Structure 1
Amino acid sequence: MYLKAKGDSMNPTIRNGDLVLVRQQPDVEDGEIAAVLMLETNEATLKRVKRSGGVVILLPDNQDYEPIVLTSDTPARILGKAMQVTSNL
């Protein structure tokens, strides 16, 4: 599946408007970029996944944004792994 990136939280890796090819899979390795469905808002986000002490943290590449810590208050599900980014010039 392809997702169209919206916003700049993953700059410079993924820019606003880029198309991201996502391979559907239920998990990714630490450091990989995943499409993650935020269950409360029903919106997907693209972030790097990191696990630390049993907690999953979603990290933006753009340091102007804060990490998202997944908890029972911020439930989410990994949709798949980002495999390719296509940009329009």
Structure 2
Amino acid sequence: MNEENENRIVLLDEEGNEVEFELIVTIEKEGVEYALLLNVEEEEGDMYAFRIDQDEEGDLLIPVEDEDEIIMIQELYDQLAQDEE
């Protein structure tokens, strides 16, 4: 399997349709892990933030909807991107 496919995640939308995302990065803050995903079918390139939780079946991706939490994740991502330059 190539690296590109390893970073692909298929999720279901509200209508039960499969949507393919690319995992851009995972970020941890105060014991909470987040994943930033990019919808591979969208041209705009918007990233979507998900909190990574766990249950008995494995990892769960919970969409982040709180505006303050989204801003915090964006700031962490911007800092990470800046550090890599």
Q: Is TM more than 0.5 here?
A: no
More helix by share: 2
- Which structure exhibits the higher relative contact order, with contacts defined as CA atoms closer than 8 Å and separated by 6 or more residues? 1
- Larger CA Rg, structure 1 vs 2: 2
* TM score, norm. by length of structure 2: 0.29
